[in-house]
Amino acid sequence: MNALKNIRLFLLDMDGTFYLGSRLLDGSSHFVETMESLPDCDFVFLTNNSSKNRLNYVEKLKTMGFSFDADRIMTSGEAATIHLSQEMPGAKLYVVGTPSLEEEFSAAGFPLTDQNPDAVVLGFDMTLTYEKLVKLCDFVRAGLPYIATHPDFNCPVEGGFIPDIGGMIALVEACTGRRPDVVIGKPNRYIVESVSEKFQVPLEAIAMVGDRLYTDIAVGANAGITSVLVLSGETALSDLEGSSVQPDYIFENLGELADAVLRDRAKDE
């Protein structure tokens, strides 16, 4: 755990941390204003959702009064492109995902194909067809490198949940006997390492902030970075009792975190 004054980049979960559905959460505006007032501190939104690209989130945040640049958002899809750019630059990929995810990989310089690919990528896909599923299983069964963008079983939507990629991972495993070689998104370290690479900030100067123990706080432990739990979303204090996953810091919301950062820095003045 590093002192808050030493954090240069805060990674923010979105739903339940910065906003809830279409409602901005208390303290979020204060957090943004605080970060903008500090010359050596910044923040990036980090989401496992690979069905949308960064511009979709820019538009949503604009409806809440924020004009953020697209580089302010990191999805598990973009993190997957960074990881593969390091491990398999220029590889031909078979991508099972939404058109937005396909665009993400194309823009990163990966040729997309369903004929003799070098690797396969499984993402959230509302355009999934049986033909896509057959090809995916064939390629996985043949032993090609197999990457998944994130492990979530359910995707939150207005009024409940819809099946997410975790269910597809289980289906492919049942059919092929294989799980992904790499799963990029939270709680796995790869998404944080991609952020560190993109923004050139060392892990010891990064903190993950979120409302879920099993993704947001767990990725802090898995990536070796500071973790901050906010109680504005899914997790209550009672959930910490007996949990193997424990945050380094706990605050009611992002506003309280911002005040704590300012207090910690004021001690050195």
Identity of residue 30: H
Q: Two tokens at 151?
A: 């492990």
76 close to 47: Cβ distance less than 8 angstroms: yes
- Name beta bridge partners: 229: 210, 250
Q: What is the tens place of the pLDDT at every residue in 160-217?
A: 788 999 999 999 999 999 999 999 999 999 999 999 999 999 999 999 999 999 999 9
Question: Which domains are seen in the chain, by residue range?
Answer: 4-48+186-266 (3.40.50.1000), 89-183 (3.40.50.1000)
- Percent of the chain at pLDDT > 70 equals 98
pLDDT of 104 over the 70 cut: yes
pLDDT for res 55: 83
Count of other CB atoms within 10 angstroms of residue 3: 12
150 close to 110: Cβ distance less than 8 angstroms: no
In degrees and rounded to multiples of 5, residue 124 shows phi and psi of -65, 130
- Exposure string of 203-220, with b = 16+ CB inside 10 Å and e = fewer, is bebbbbbbbbbbbbbbbb
In degrees and rounded to multiples of 5, residue 118 shows phi and psi of -85, -25
Q: Two tokens at 155?
A: 């995707």
| Residue range 208-230: mean pLDDT, rounded | 95
Is this structure's pTM higher than 0.85?
yes
Q: In what order do the strands lie in the sheet with 226-230?
A: 73-75, 42-47, 9-12, 206-210, 226-230, 249-251
| Residue range 239-266: mean pLDDT, rounded | 95
